[in-house]
């Protein structure tokens, strides 16, 4: 029968495909070792600096948990992945991992037992690391105190729960290979490029991702997202006002810049980790990142303009700003003697000048907490104080006053989505608001 | 421009004449004579001005009155009187939690909101909830003890041993002498 023959061919093709895929997806386990070889303190120290630049702890540490013991949920658009325990615990961590096993995980995304890791772990970047740096990172993590902490099971629906399918994803989107320097650039730029691309994986958040979660390299650094925060563009699409410079980026990445302020959201632990990093490494990162925007770009100046008070929502927002925000944010900025950790005006903040309102809503809702036992920055949280409609009015006012671009189109829906537990309150003042025009 | 704004404070309705952006704290203290909530920093950093709005602890120095129409405001005066202190006020008095007393009304109100939402908080939950309220005298341990005491007496947990008072001189009258935990104004709900 003809139909039978076609079916037979199809079955044969499918079987051959499955066999080829199995070969592609299968990786052998690497035999466990009793103990890692001893490493010199200098190598361990170098690994500590590299781990800070890769801010490994920010994913591999649960809220309130022991450093590197894993368990932090990483929300992706496919489901929740739990960061693993990378302390050298024999049962629940990297105990028994040889340098070869660690290297394969870092460069190919395959764990010691031969299973595929998900690219939420950015092996797509770490593949660029040098042998020496992988060995130093290995020496550092293996010298941590072992912590017994079982990593929770991932919460991924089928088919994403099938790790072997990552072989196909790798075929489509992953190119293994070491970082290669650009001989036309200086040594500092190349150092920064190596750090940014291979270790600090900046593109993991600052580049857009496609439907299958792979970074769109053609639009690298044009902005992305992390943990439902918007990650600003680092390229020509940056809305920063004034534009970033190598010097201001160095200050920002080291902690605080008078013009642009400090890091918030998922970027805060990145900058916090830089406290252990030599300034020269941060300056190299800054040189590379500053070079992502075309040189001589005119850039934008901070805006502070009058707001139309005939608009009822903007008038309500102006009232809230005057009562809740102005006491700090109209103080002229820390550098000029104003309230500590404030910028000269909110026109300097990408939370307000950016195309996406989510970061502003997160900051208004949660405030900015000081690191434990550290002095500020500290902004009080308004998530318990203002209703979602009041936050909408305030955000609309901030946007109108401090950004040259138009209103955020989906502001109200986004506020309500991000503040489901906000107090209900009334829509806003029913009295005539005395919306003040900002100082010119 | 001032306007007339209706506020509900401690179960009573007030019409106040105020510019809409006026912080609630100023209206409470200057217009309504409710001096329990204190001006500490005016920047939302210390918690001395904490009151409760619709069951949630808020910083009254950073909340414009116009944002509060139709919402139920509770101040420390709403929890009890010097003669009949409320449960948390009794616990603060019993533990001698006030030294200078300036932060205490804010502490009591933050704790009140916590216990309303979570009647049986763990030590970690109490500390997390209270983290934003500062005390310059350093009576944090007594403040925490007072909150634990109030939580266990709210439970009516007579069988369990209530946490012991942490200091000498736990006479109730003496605690009241520190002032802030007691009511200071006449407009109170018993």
Residue contact A327–B62, C-beta within 8 A: yes
Mean pLDDT of A76-96: 96
Question: Could you say which of B5, B19, B62 has the minimum Cβ distance to residue A324?
Answer: B62
Where do we find the tokens 């368990």? A71
Q: In chain A, where are the structural domains located? A: 25-173, 187-290, 312-418
Cβ atoms of A429 and B67 within 8 Å: the answer is yes
Residue A190 to residue A201: CA distance in whole angstroms? 15
pLDDT in tens, B99-127: 999 999 999 999 999 999 999 999 999 99
Model confidence band, residue A1 (pLDDT cutoffs 50, 70, 90): low
Residue A305 has pLDDT above 70, yes or no: yes
Where do we find the tokens 């069988």? B159
By CA distance, what is B1's nearest residue in A?
A434
CA of A427 vs chain B CAs: smallest distance (Å): 8
Question: How many beta carbons lie within 10 A of that of residue A150, not counting itself?
Answer: 15
Mean pLDDT of A155-160: 94
Residue contact B64–A324, C-beta within 8 A: yes
More reliable by pLDDT, B111 or A12: B111
Question: Could you say which of A319, A379, A386 has the minimum Cβ distance to residue B21?
Answer: A319
By CA distance, what is B3's nearest residue in A?
A431
Which residues neighbour A377 within 8 Å (Cβ) at sequence distance 6 or greater? A256, A261, A262, A340, A341, A368, A370
Question: Could you say which of A323, A428, A431 has the minimum Cβ distance to residue B23?
Answer: A323
Provide the CATH topology of domain A312-418.
Answer: Cytochrome Bc1 Complex; Chain D, domain 2 (1.10.760)
Q: Which of B67, B109, B122 to mutate to test the interface with A (most CBs of A within 10 A)?
A: B67
Residue A93 has pLDDT above 60, yes or no: yes
Residue contact B20–A429, C-beta within 8 A: yes
Provide the CATH topology of domain B3-78.
Answer: Ubiquitin-like (UB roll) (3.10.20)
Superfamily per CATH, domain B87-176: [2Fe-2S]-binding domain (1.10.150.120)
Q: In chain B, where are the structural domains located? A: 3-78, 87-176
More reliable by pLDDT, B154 or A355: A355
pLDDT at A375: 63
ipTM of the complex: 0.84
Which residues neighbour A288 within 8 Å (Cβ) at sequence distance 6 or greater? A189, A192, A193, A195, A196
The backbone torsions φ and ψ at residue A46, rounded to the nearest 5 degrees and listed phi first, read: -60, -40
pLDDT at A2: 67
- Crossing angle of helices B104-117 and B123-130, in 10° steps, is 130
Q: Is the pTM of this model over 0.90?
A: no
CA of B145 vs chain A CAs: smallest distance (Å): 22
């Amino acid at each position: 029968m003809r139909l039978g023959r076609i079916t037979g061919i199809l079955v044969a093709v499918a079987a051959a495909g499955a066999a080829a895929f199995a070969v592609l997806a299968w990786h052998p386990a690497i035999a466990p070792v009793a103990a890692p070889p001893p490493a010199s303190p200098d190598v361990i120290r170098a690994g500590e600096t590299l781990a800070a630049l890769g801010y490994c702890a920010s994913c591999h540490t649960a809220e309130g948990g022991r450093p590197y013991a894993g368990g932090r949920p990483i929300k992706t658009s496919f489901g929740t992945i739990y960061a693993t325990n990378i302390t050298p615990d024999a049962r629940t961590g990297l105990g028994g991992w040889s340098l070869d096993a660690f290297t394969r995980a870092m460069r190919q995304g395959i764990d010691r037992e031969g299973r595929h890791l998900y690219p939420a772990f950015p092996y797509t970047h770490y593949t660029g690391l040098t042998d020496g740096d992988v060995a130093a990172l290995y020496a550092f993590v293996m010298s941590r105190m072992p912590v017994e902490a079982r990593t929770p099971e991932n919460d991924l629906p089928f088919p994403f729960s099938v790790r072997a399918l990552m072989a196909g994803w790798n075929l489509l989107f992953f190119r293994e290979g070491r970082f290669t320097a650009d001989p036309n650039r200086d040594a500092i730029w190349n150092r920064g490029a190596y750090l940014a691309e291979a270790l600090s994986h900046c593109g993991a958040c600052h580049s857009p991702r496609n439907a299958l979660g792979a970074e769109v390299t053609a639009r690298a650094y044009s902005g992305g997202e992390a943990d439902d925060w918007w990650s600003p563009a680092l390229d020509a699409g940056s809305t920063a006002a004034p534009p970033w410079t190598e010097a201001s980026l160095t200050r920002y990445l080291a902690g605080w810049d008078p013009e642009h302020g400090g890091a918030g959201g998922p970027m805060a632990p990145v900058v916090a980790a830089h406290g252990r990093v030599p300034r020269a490494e941060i300056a190299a990162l800054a040189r590379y990142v500053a070079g992502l925007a075309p040189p001589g770009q005119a850039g934008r100046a901070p805006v502070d303009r009058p707001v139309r008070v005939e608009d009822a929502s903007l008038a309500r927002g102006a009232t809230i700003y005057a009562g809740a925000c102005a006491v700090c944010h109209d103080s002229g900025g820390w550098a000029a003697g104003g309230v500590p950790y404030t910028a000269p005006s909110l026109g300097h903040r990408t939370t307000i000048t950016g195309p996406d309102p989510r970061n502003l809503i997160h900051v208004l809702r949660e405030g900015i907490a000081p690191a434990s036992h550290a002095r500020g920055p500290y902004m009080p949280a308004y998530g318990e104080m203002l209703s979602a409609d009041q936050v909408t009015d305030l955000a609309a006012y901030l946007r109108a006053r401090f950004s040259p671009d138009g209103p955020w189109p989906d502001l109200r829906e986004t506020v309500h989505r991000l503040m489901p537990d906000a107090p209900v309150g009334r829509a806003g003042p029913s009295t005539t608001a005395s919306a003040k025009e900002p100082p010119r | 421009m001032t306007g007339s704004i209706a506020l509900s404070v401690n179960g009573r309705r007030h019409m106040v004449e105020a510019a809409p952006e006026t912080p609630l704290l100023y209206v409470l203290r200057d217009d309504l004579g409710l001096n329990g909530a204190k001006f500490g920093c005016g920047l939302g950093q210390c918690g001395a001005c904490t009151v409760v709005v619709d069951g949630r602890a808020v910083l009254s120095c950073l909340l414009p009155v116009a944002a509060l129409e139709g919402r139920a405001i509770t101040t420390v005066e709403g929890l009890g009187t010097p003669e009949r202190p409320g449960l948390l006020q009794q616990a603060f008095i019993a533990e001698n939690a006030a030294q200078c007393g300036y932060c205490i009304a804010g502490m009591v109100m933050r704790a009140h909101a916590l216990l309303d939402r979570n009647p049986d908080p763990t030590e970690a939950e109490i500390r997390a909830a209270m983290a934003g309220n500062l005390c310059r005298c350093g009576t944090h341990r007594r403040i925490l003890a007072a909150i634990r005491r109030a939580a266990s007496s709210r439970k009516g947990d007579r069988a369990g041993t209530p946490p012991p008072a942490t200091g000498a001189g736990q006479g109730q009258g003496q605690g009241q002498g520190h002032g802030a935990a007691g009511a200071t104004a006449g407009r109170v709900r018993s």
